[in-house]
Chains A and B, each alone.
Chain A
C-alpha cells in the first residue's frame, strides 16, 4: 500500500522528503523556510524543537523523527488528570518531585536519546530524564507544582514519541529481577579470592623457603576475616536453596555445594585456630566466586523481552466514557456496568458490551484465531478483545473488564500454578546420587583410618571438600546459557536456561493454525493496477473491500486485511460466491468481480512467481490484480515432515475446518486435527494430553492460545515482531525463523548431550581429587589448583562444544 502511495507522490513531486521524519511530502504547502514537512504533526515537532534550541537533533542523524500520530481526540490523555490513575503510574514521590518510567516504542536512534534526555529544555518542570535504549523506556522526574504528567505526555506525543500505556502499567509491579545483588556478591567473592590467593602465596612456596610462624598466623587470620563476608553474604543463596530443597525432602545441586563450602570453612577455621595448618580459604573463596560467575551467566536473560504478558498488556489504559453527552477519558479500571463509552477505528473493545450506536466491524482474530471481521448493528452483543474497524461506535458495558468472556480465561487454574517449579531435572537427579556417593566415600575413608582420629577426620573432610561439585554445577549453566545465546542468534528467544532442558524432553507438538502455520496480516500482498482505470484508487479499494469482506475465503480475508483503511460501502446487492472461481456483487450500481483467471478475463502477462493472483474487474472491465504470498509459512511442509519423524504432531485451531483436508496430510495422524476450539477448549485439550503422560510443546501466537501456552509443558509463541504483543510463554520465535523450528528443537537434545559429557569430565577430576583425599594426602595447594582447573576445563569444553555443534547443525 505504501508502495502505491509513494509512486503516486513521485509523479507529482520529484524529491520532497520531510525534514523531520524523511517520508515523502504530498506537496510543498507545509514548510518553514526551506524545510518541508509531510504533515502538520512533523511541523509542530520541528517548531517545538526549534523553539527549545534542540535542532542538533537533526544533525546527529538525518531525518531522525517519527511521524507524530495525529491527535484524533484532544482529550486522549485526560485520564491522566485523575490523581488515582496517575499515582498508580508513579514510581517514587519525593515532596514535589515525581519519578516514573514511560514506554516509548518510537525510540530508535541516538537522536532520540539526545532529545529525550534534553527534555528539560522543552519543559521547565522536568528535572531529569534518562533513556534505556534496549527497553525503549524513558525514566523521567518532574516537579509536579510546575508541570503535570498530562502536559509531559502530550508534549512527548507531539514530538512523535507517544508513550504506550496499557492496563498492566497500573498493576503493582512485581519486583523486577535485579542483577544488582548478584554483581555485589560476585564483587565481594572476587575481592576475597584475589586477596586470599595473594596472602596464601608464601604458603604455596613453603617448600623453597620457610616463613616465620608469626607471619603465617597473621596471614591465616587475615584470610579468615576476608572469607567471612564470602561465607555470610556471597554464598548465602546456596545455603538458602539447599535448606529449602532439604525441607521439601529433595536434594538439589546446592546441597553438595553447601556441604563442601561449609566443610571447607570449618576445617580451615579449625586448622588456623589449632595452629595445625594454614587453612583452605583460597579454595573456598575461589569456589564461591566461580559458582557465582556461573549463576550470572545463567541469569543474563533477554531483559528487553517480556514473557509474562497477559490481556492487561493488550488492553488500553484509558477509555472514552460518555457522560451526559460529553466525552471524557477515564481509566479503564473505573469503567462500570451500564457505562456508555466510545471506541474508534483500530481500538480494542475492553469489556463485553452492547452496541448502541454506529456500525460495528469487529475483528475477533485475537480471541478466536479467525481472521474475519464480523459486522454488528446496534443492539448486538460485542465481546471484549475484539478490535473495531471503521468509524466511532458507542457501546454500553454489560460485564466488567475482569469478568468478560476473554478475560475469564485468566481466572483458570493454569495461570495460578507456579511456573518456575520446573527447574532442571537432570542436574537434580545427578546431585541426588552424587551426594549419596560422596557421603559414602567420605564415611568409608573415615572408617578405614578410624583408630587414628586425626587422619579419619582429615580424610572425611578432604573428601567433602574435593568432591564439592563446582565443575558439575558450572556445566549446566554454561552449556544451557550458551545454547540460549545461540538460539537468540537464530531469532529464537527463550525465557531462561531451564527451557532448553524441557524442550529436549518434548514428545508431542501442538500447533495453532491461524498466525502460527499461516502468515498473519497482509505481509507480502501487493496490488498491481491495470494500466487504465476509470476509478481513483481509494474508490476502487473501497469497492473491492465491500465485496471481499463478505467472503470467508482465505485470499479474500487477506485482501480485506490489506485494505483495512478503506471504507466498506453499505449498498451491496446480489452477492454471489462461486466456489473455485471467486466472488461478485453489485456495489453502488457497479458490478465488482474478485476472483481467479477463469473467472475474470484479462489480457495481461502475470509472472509466475509462486504468488497467488486475485484479479479484479469492475463492470467486466479488468482493473488490476492482487499478488498474494502463500498463506502458509515458508518451510511449513518440511518442518512438519521432519517433526513427524520424532514427534506426535497435532493441530488445535479456533478456525473452521475449511482447510482440514489440505492440512491432514501434513500431520502425523490425520484424525488429530481439532477445529472450532475455544481458548478454554484448547487449554483442556493440552491438559488431557498431559494426563496421558505426554510432554507437550504448544506453538501458538494470539491471545486465544494464551491458556494452551500456559498449560503446556512448554509454550512457544510465534511473532512477526519480537517487541510486539505476544502472550505469556516460555519462548518467542520470530516468524522468519519458523523453518528452523525442527533444527532448534533437535539442538536442545544436542545441548543436553554436551551437559552429560561435561558431567563425566568433572567426575573424572573428582576421582583424581578423591584419590588424594582418601589417602589423607590432599594439600591445600593441590586443592587450589585442581578446583579452578576442573572448572576451566568444563567451561571451555561446553562453550567450544555448543558453538561448534551449532555451526554444524544450525547453519
Chain B
C-alpha cells in the first residue's frame, strides 16, 4: 500500500504540469481573442508557381 505515497505525488506532479501549461496558455494571450482563430483555421498557404520560382532563385543565389 505504501506505493500510494509515490503514486499520489507522481499523479499530482502530472496534474501540476497541466496546470502550468494552462497558466502559460492564458498568459501568452490565447484566451484574449477566441473568435479570430476560428476563422483563421480555414486559411492555409498554397504554394503558387511564382512563389516556387522565387524560392528557387533564392536557393540558386545562395
On A, residues with C-beta under 8 Å from B are 53, 55-56, 60, 110, 113-114, 117-118, 131-135, 179-180, 183-184, 187-188, 191, 194-195, 199, 212, 215, 218-219, 222
Contacts and interface: CB of A to CB of B under 8 A. Distances in A.
Contact of A134 (B5, B16, B33, B46): B33
Interface residues of B, number: 28
B10 interface: no
A296 to B, nearest CB: 11
A189 B35 CA distance: 26
Given A191-B15, A191-B19, A180 B36 contact: no
A134 B36 contact: yes
B8 A180 contact: no
Contact of A53 (B27, B39, B42, B48): B48
Contact of B40 (A113, A179, A191, A219): A113
B5 A218 contact: yes
A180 B27 contact: yes
A113 B31 contact: no
7 contacts: A55-B48, A132-B33, A133-B36, A191-B16, A212-B1, A215-B4, A219-B8
A218 B3 CA distance: 13
Contact of A222 (B8, B29, B33, B36): B8
Nearest to A111: B43
B23 A184 contact: yes
Given A53-B51, A56-B48, 9 more contacts: A60-B43, A134-B35, A135-B33, A180-B26, A180-B27, A184-B23, A187-B26, A188-B19, A188-B23
A195 B19 CA distance: 12
Nearest to A137: B33
Interface in B12-62: 12, 15-16, 19, 22-23, 26-27, 29, 31-33, 35-36, 39-40, 42-43, 45-46, 48, 50-51, 54
Given A110-B39, A199-B8, A180 B31 contact: yes
Contacts of B39: 110, 113, 133
Contacts of B32: 132, 179-180
Contacts of A56: 45-46, 48
Given A53-B48, A113-B36, A183 B31 contact: yes
Nearest to B54: A53
Contacts of A113: 36, 39-40, 43
A219 B27 CA distance: 31
A187 B19 contact: yes
Secondary structure type dominating chain A contacts: helix
Contacts of A188: 19, 23
B48 to A, nearest CB: 6
B43 to A, nearest CB: 5
A164 B58 CA distance: 38
Given A53-B51, A191-B15, A199-B8, A132 B36 contact: yes
Contacts of B27: 180, 184
A188 to B, nearest CB: 7
Contacts of A219: 8
A184 B43 contact: no
A179 B29 CA distance: 10
Contacts of A199: 8
Given A53-B50, A133-B36, A188-B19, A179 B43 contact: no
Lowest 9 A-B CB distances belong to which pairs?
Answer: A133-B36, A114-B43, A183-B26, A191-B19, A110-B39, A132-B33, A187-B22, A134-B35, A53-B51
Residue among B19, B46, B54 facing the most chain A CB atoms (10 A cut-off): B19
Nearest to B18: A191
Contacts of A179: 31-32
B24 to A, nearest CB: 10
Given A110-B42, A113-B39, A113-B43, A184 B33 contact: no
Contacts of B51: 53
A399 to B, nearest CB: 41
B18 to A, nearest CB: 8
Given A113-B43, A131-B36, A132-B36, A187 B23 contact: yes
A110 B1 contact: no
Contacts of A194: 15
B26 A184 contact: yes
Contacts of B15: 191, 194-195
Contacts of A110: 39-40, 42-43
Contacts of B36: 113, 131-134
B40 A117 contact: yes
Residue among B15, B23, B33, B46 facing the most chain A CB atoms (10 A cut-off): B33
B47 to A, nearest CB: 10
B12 A195 contact: yes
A219 B26 CA distance: 30
Nearest to A187: B22
Contacts of A222: 8, 12
A284 B54 CA distance: 62
Contacts of A60: 43
B17 to A, nearest CB: 11
Contacts of A117: 40
Nearest to A131: B36
B40 to A, nearest CB: 6
B57 to A, nearest CB: 13
A194 B35 CA distance: 29
Nearest to B26: A183
A195 B12 CA distance: 8
B31 A133 contact: no
A118 B46 CA distance: 12
A498 B9 CA distance: 44
Contacts of A135: 33
Nearest to B40: A113
Nearest to A130: B36
A183 B26 CA distance: 7
Contacts of B31: 179-180, 183
Contacts of A215: 1, 4
A194 to B, nearest CB: 8
A627 B61 CA distance: 68
A218 B51 CA distance: 63
A183 B4 CA distance: 32
Nearest to A178: B32
Contacts of B45: 56, 118
B23 to A, nearest CB: 5
Contacts of B8: 199, 218-219, 222
Nearest to B16: A191
A110 B22 CA distance: 28
Contacts of B48: 53, 55-56
A191 B39 CA distance: 31
Contacts of A218: 5, 8
B42 A133 contact: no
B50 to A, nearest CB: 6
Contacts of A191: 15-16, 19
